[in-house]
Amino acid sequence: MTTPTEGAETHRPSAVLNTLKRLGFGVVVSVPDGWLGEMLIRIEQEPTIKLVRATHEEEALAIACGSRLGGVRTALLVQNAGVLSMGAGMVSLAQRYQFPLLMLVSYRGNPEDPVFYHVPKGRVTEPVFRGIGLSHACSDRHRPIGPQVEQAATYAEEASCPFALLLSREDIQW
Amino acid sequence: MVTTARPTRTDYYKALAANLPARALVVTSLGNASYLWAALHHATENFYFEDAMGLTLPLALGVAISQPDRPVIAVEGDGALLMHLGALVTIGAVNPANLTILLIQNGVHGAAGGQALANASLDLAAVARASGISHAENLTRADLLGERIKSAPERNGTGFLVLATEPDLEVVTPPVSLDPVATKLRFMTAIDAPRYVPTLFGGGMLTRG
């Protein structure tokens, strides 16, 4: 028999949310993706986290920069296509001003998600991230996800920059 | 003699400086929006944009959310707003009462040398109202701006003031460094933002003191 805590740790999306809470994230800014939908509803129900639903990922990035500027630990939850569309703000605002931001990014269109309209985005995601100098890592499905989220958050703070953790479906879809 | 001349950015900024609320945080857009405000009223609680056109309002929304007890004033231009009109929808949905937006409507991309906008004649206050920001209006006098700033605490939502303004294309030289990281750190120190303690020192969290 498992305890509720153990159960939560084996459910990877729960572990992601619990890690955000434990690390004191007070704001999450998001533009929805199919995998993120239920996670966003859960975050909305959290008394210690304010969820802001933005209209565009570059706008979401700027909201997150402002929230972090105001002293609140802040995470972005977006699809990889959204990171592709926030390039200018990434380099001229988030990176230039050195804002530490945790970015939890659903990795659509990689070989594990071969949906025909996601594939073009998946193919270029990591090359574009490297091109714009966005520090990132892919989640490892063989390791617990909570510590991976914490490492990404720690990297962002200690390097004073955005850090993107690319997540698979089982990491993020509730 | 009847005049149709619009006030200048300087006129509005002087009215803002004269009526700036205590503990106000001011976020200014790129170009003269930042350079002139730095020249007229530099303060550690100012956050100056360099480049990142169109992102002033969403950043100011983030500041208003994270600093709910302080008035936040954002200065944006009409050209920059058009780059991210969706931000009005997000701001209208969150609707923080501590956020006041001053929109310089000069009809040109001033920071790009005065180039034409895609549409310079939009009623942007009406666009803001349609986006959920009910306290939106057009102003053509600097003294009215001062009155609106003073009465801002009485609002129950975000304020959006569209300021008809003469274009100012001559670049103002700011009297202080607008180095981005220095600007950020100066601002965060001024508001006593919690700091991150590295894991080497047993941290890993934001803490005060």
- Return the percentage of chain A with pLDDT > 90, whole number: 93
End-to-end CA distance of chain A: 22
Tokens standing for B139?
């102003």
Phi, psi of B28 (to 5 degrees): -120, 145
Domain A4-172: CATH class, spelled out: alpha beta
Tell which B residues from 134 to 193 touch A, by Cβ distance under 8 Å: 180-181, 183-184, 187-188, 191-193
Q: Are B74 and B45 in contact (CB under 8 A)?
A: no
CA distances from residue B94 to A87, A155, B157 in whole angstroms, order as listed:
25, 30, 9
Q: Are B139 and B162 in contact (CB under 8 A)?
A: yes
Q: In this predicted model, what pLDDT tens digit does every residue of A60-101 receive, in sequence order?
A: 999 999 999 999 999 999 999 999 999 999 999 999 999 999
Q: Which residues of chain B have pLDDT under 70?
A: 1-4
Residues of B with Cβ-Cβ distance to A50 under 8 angstroms: 65
Which residue in this structure is represented by tokens 């530490």? A100
Instruction: Output the pLDDT for position B2.
Output: 60
Q: In this predicted model, what pLDDT tens digit does every residue of B30-50 receive, in sequence order?
A: 999 999 999 999 999 999 999
Region A101-111: what's the mean pLDDT?
A: 96
The reply to whether residue A93 touches residue B52, judged by beta carbons under 8 angstroms, is yes
The reply to whether residue B66 touches residue A72, judged by beta carbons under 8 angstroms, is yes
B112 touches chain A (CB under 8 A): no
pLDDT above 60 for A8: no
Residues of A with Cβ-Cβ distance to B191 under 8 angstroms: 70-71
Tokens standing for B123?
């009623």
Q: What is the largest CA-CA distance in chain A?
A: 51
Task: Tell whether pTM > 0.90.
Answer: yes
pLDDT grade for A6, boundaries at 50, 70 and 90:
very low
- Going along chain B from its start, the domains and CATH numbers come out as 9-207 (3.40.50.970)
CA–CA separation, B75 and B60 (whole Å): 9
pLDDT above 60 for A113: yes
The reply to whether residue A52 touches residue B193, judged by beta carbons under 8 angstroms, is no
- Quick check: ipTM above 0.95? yes
pLDDT above 50 for A1: no
Burial of A173 (0-12, 13-18, 19+ CB in 10 A): middle
CA–CA separation, B72 and A172 (whole Å): 34
